[in-house]
Chains A and B, each alone.
Chain A
Amino acid sequence: MSLYQLSKLLYQLNRDDSLQARFKVDPAGATEGYDLTAEERRAVLDSDIGLLYVLGVNGQILMHFAALCGVEWSDYLQRMRDGVKRHGPVRAGIYTMTTSPDEKVVE
Chain B
Amino acid sequence: MSLVFAGVCSHAPGITGRDERAPTDLRDGLYAAFGDMQQRLHAARPDALIVVAAEHFANFFMDNMPAYAMGMAETYCGPIEDLDWLRISRRVVRGAPDLSRRLVTEILETVDIAYAEEWRFDHGIMVPLHFLDPDNALRIIPANINCQGPPLTPLSRAWAFGEALRRAADAVPERIALVCTGGISHWPATPDSGRINEVWDREFLARWTRNDRAGLLGYTDAETYAEAGQGGFEIRTFIAAAAAARGTGTVHYYQPIPIFAVGCTVATMEIV
Binding between chains A and B: yes
A14 at the interface (CB under 8 A from B): yes
B204 at the interface (CB under 8 A from A): no
Q: Which residue of B lies closest to A79 (CB)?
A: B191
Docked complex Cα distance between A23 and B100 (Å): 37
Docked complex Cα distance between A11 and B63 (Å): 11
Closest CB of chain A to B17's CB: distance in Å? 8
Residue total for B at the interface (Cβ-Cβ under 8 A): 32
> In residues 17-54 of chain A, which contact B (Cβ within 8 Å)?
53
Would A14 and B57 be within 8 Å (CB), given that A64-B81, A106-B193 are in contact?
yes
Q: Which residue of A lies closest to B230 (CB)?
A: A94
Is there contact, CB below 8 Å, between A59 and B188? yes
Interface of A is mostly: helix
Is there contact, CB below 8 Å, between B18 and A7? no
Which chain B residues border A7 with CB–CB below 8 Å? Answer: 61-62
Contact of B188 among A60, A96, A97 (CB under 8 A): A60
Is there contact, CB below 8 Å, between B57 and A99? no
A80 at the interface (CB under 8 A from B): yes
Q: Which residue of A lies closest to B55 (CB)?
A: A60
Is there contact, CB below 8 Å, between A99 and B188? no
B150 at the interface (CB under 8 A from A): yes
Is there contact, CB below 8 Å, between B82 and A67? yes
A55 at the interface (CB under 8 A from B): no
Is there contact, CB below 8 Å, between A77 and B57? no
A1 at the interface (CB under 8 A from B): no
Is there contact, CB below 8 Å, between B148 and A58? yes
Docked complex Cα distance between A77 and B259 (Å): 12
Is there contact, CB below 8 Å, between B58 and A15? yes
Docked complex Cα distance between A15 and B149 (Å): 18
Is there contact, CB below 8 Å, between B194 and A105? yes
Would A59 and B194 be within 8 Å (CB), given that A7-B62, A15-B120, A105-B258 are in contact?
no
Chain B 136-152 near chain A by CB (<8 Å), digits 1 or 0 = 00000000000011100
Q: Could you say which of B14, B191, B193 has the most chain A C-beta atoms within 10 Å of its C-beta?
A: B191
A residues neighboring B (CB under 8 Å): 4, 7-8, 11, 14-15, 53, 58-64, 67-68, 73, 77, 80-81, 84, 94-99, 101, 105-106
Question: 19 A–B contact pairs at CB < 8 A?
Answer: A7-B61, A8-B61, A14-B80, A15-B120, A58-B57, A58-B148, A59-B230, A60-B188, A61-B56, A63-B189, A64-B85, A73-B14, A95-B190, A98-B192, A98-B195, A98-B229, A99-B195, A105-B187, A106-B259
B residues neighboring A (CB under 8 Å): 14, 17-18, 56-58, 61-63, 80-82, 85, 120, 148-150, 187-195, 225, 229-230, 258-259, 261
Q: A15-B58, A58-B148, A58-B149 are in contact. List 5 more A-B contacts (CB 8 A).
A: A59-B230, A97-B190, A99-B191, A105-B192, A106-B194
